[in-house]
Amino acid sequence: MKENASDFISKSTIKAADKEHRRKINYNINKYNSVVPQGKQQFSDINLAREKAKNLKWKAIENLDKQLEKFEANITKRGAKVIWAEDAQQALDAINKICKEKNCRTLVKSKSMVTEEIHLNDFLKKNGIESVETDLGEYIQQLDGEPPYHIVTPAMHKSKEDVAKLFFEKLGTDPKLTPEQLTLVARKVLREKYVQAEVGITGANFIIADIGAIAVTENEGNARLSCAWPKTHIVVTGIEKIIPSLTDLALFWPLLATYGTGQKVTVYSTIVSGPRQENETDGPDDMYVILLDNGRTNILADEKQRESLYCIRCGACLNACPVYKNIGGHTYATAYSGPIGSVITPHLKQMDDWKHLSYASSLCGNCTEVCAVKINLHELLLENRHEAVDHGNSSFAERMAWKMWKQGMLRRKWMNMAGGSTKNWIVNNLLKGWKEHRGEIDFPKKSFNQAWKEKYGNR
Ligand code: SF4
């Protein structure tokens, strides 16, 4: 077994038995579940809205090359510079080069999963640049030296008491502060960082092709400050974030807010279409947009998996997943966790190293049921398993076991020849993983055929 897979299994085993973890997650996910229906009420037909969003993303992704070039042409006209990065290293090098040119010592960063994907903070630290997370959840995680736990709510696994304790340990505040007081402490620290920072980095929730702009949604205003306060603004975004037109935001913004946090629309919704223009008073002198591939074109090339690029990162599939809720976000050891992470990570990285994530699913389909853009997530998880086997990424023992299973299942007589105790022995001893996590199986003494015959004869 690969190291990643055995790590995943040992961490999952510990987390699944951690009742305190489960209590906190259930508390926060229950709060989410209670507000999402309210957000949905703004749509006259929520299913139609999801279908329409899926169609729009389909249109954008099927024409990805043209849409991206259109975006580049339009935003360049307004003075932004577009940088194409094939992989994480190219993106990091580009950021480093800009930071050097701008003599950057402190950088403020708003929440961005793409920057987690390329491990930007570690890279900046090695290069002597202080990178400060300005989203409250991300700031908490950074203080604690932990990566985000969830793609929308980074500190979802922490209670307010945990945060008060953390602030007390790291910032010397009163350990009994309320959430409001803690927020004010973070606000004070972060405001000073905005003033110091030479560069601000944000992600993009959407890249808009027809007007050449990025759209950012948030609830704290920190992304807007990161865009506008420092003299240089760098956007790092995956190429799949493209949408064809500004008018599409009328659908995507409320949809993302509803499925992300149960809101009608987030508190701050910002469109940035370039650096400060002549006659404008606010905004940065320079704006760079880094369009990151980093494995996304592998997904694009795979006709079946392509629809995973429609994802708008609302996080709904994580909240709905029984596996995620039990093993938690950090167990995945990837930037993107939960069902969508399990679908895309083997393609963004290596199938052989990450295929185990696609097996960590009951295939209950709850993720597909709740997906804001109707991605067939559970089918894609199954497809990943097919691809892993087709590419030879399965062990000899596993292949043999399934071969024998298939032979047995195709021959009723063989199945009937073995009595209940033989079947018990095979399943409980040869299929070791089964017994370890689920308890022993006890087959009936008589086969189904025998039982049927005794009851109904040869009907
Ligand atoms: S796959 Fe669907 S539900 Fe999951 S984060 Fe993406 S858009 Fe949201």
pLDDT in tens, 227-283: 999 999 999 999 999 999 999 999 999 999 999 999 999 999 999 999 999 999 999
Other C-beta atoms lying within 10 Å of the C-beta of residue 55: 13
Tokens of 239: 């190429």
CB 371 near ligand 1, within 6 Å: yes
Contacts made by residues 186-190, CB under 8 angstroms, sequence distance 24+: 186/136, 186/139, 186/140, 190/108, 190/132, 190/134, 190/139, 190/222
Can you give the pTM of this predicted structure?
A: 0.91
CA-nearest residue for atom 8, ligand 1, is: 314
Going from the C-alpha of 339 to that of each of 321, 354, 365, 423, the distances in angstroms are 7, 13, 10, 33
Cα–Cα distance between 252 and 372 in angstroms, integer?
9
Section 210-218 average pLDDT: 97
CA of residue 54 to ligand 1 center, whole Å: 11
Cα–Cα distance between 344 and 354 in angstroms, integer?
10
Residue 438 is predicted with a pLDDT of 75
CB 108 near ligand 1, within 6 Å: no
Angle 216-221-222 from CA coordinates, rounded to 5°: 85
CA-nearest residue for atom 4, ligand 1, is: 317
Residue 3 is predicted with a pLDDT of 86
What H or E segment, with its residue span, contains residue 199?
strand 199-202
Do residues 213 and 14 make contact, with C-beta atoms less than 8 angstroms apart?
no
Extended strands (E) in 263-405: 268-272, 286-292
Residue 432 is predicted with a pLDDT of 65
CB 372 near ligand 1, within 6 Å: yes
Residue 416 is predicted with a pLDDT of 84
Do residues 193 and 108 make contact, with C-beta atoms less than 8 angstroms apart?
yes
Model pLDDT for residues 91-123, shown as the tens digit of each residue: 999 999 999 999 999 999 999 999 999 999 999
> Residue 443: is its pLDDT beyond 70?
yes
Model pLDDT for residues 379-411, shown as the tens digit of each residue: 999 999 999 988 877 778 778 878 888 888 888
Cα–Cα distance between 204 and 237 in angstroms, integer?
6
Cα–Cα distance between 252 and 59 in angstroms, integer?
14
- The identity of residue 288, as a single letter, is Y
Cα–Cα distance between 423 and 103 in angstroms, integer?
70
For residue 268, count CB atoms less than 10 angstroms from its CB and return exposed for 0-12, middle for 13-18, buried for 19 or more: middle
CA of residue 185 to ligand 1 center, whole Å: 33
Which atom of ligand 1 lies at the shortest distance from residue 260's CA?
8
CA-nearest residue for atom 6, ligand 1, is: 311
Cα–Cα distance between 217 and 223 in angstroms, integer?
8
Which atom of ligand 1 lies at the shortest distance from residue 367's CA?
3
CA of residue 377 to ligand 1 center, whole Å: 9
| 124 torsion bin: left (phi>0), alpha (psi -120 to 50), beta (else) | alpha
Percent of the chain exceeding pLDDT 90 equals 84
CA-nearest residue for atom 2, ligand 1, is: 371
Query: The dihedral of CA 120, 122, 126, 129: what is its sign?
Result: positive
Section 81-89 average pLDDT: 98
Which atom of ligand 1 lies at the shortest distance from residue 371's CA?
3
For residue 40, give the nearest of 376, 370, 374, 377 by alpha carbon. Answer: 370
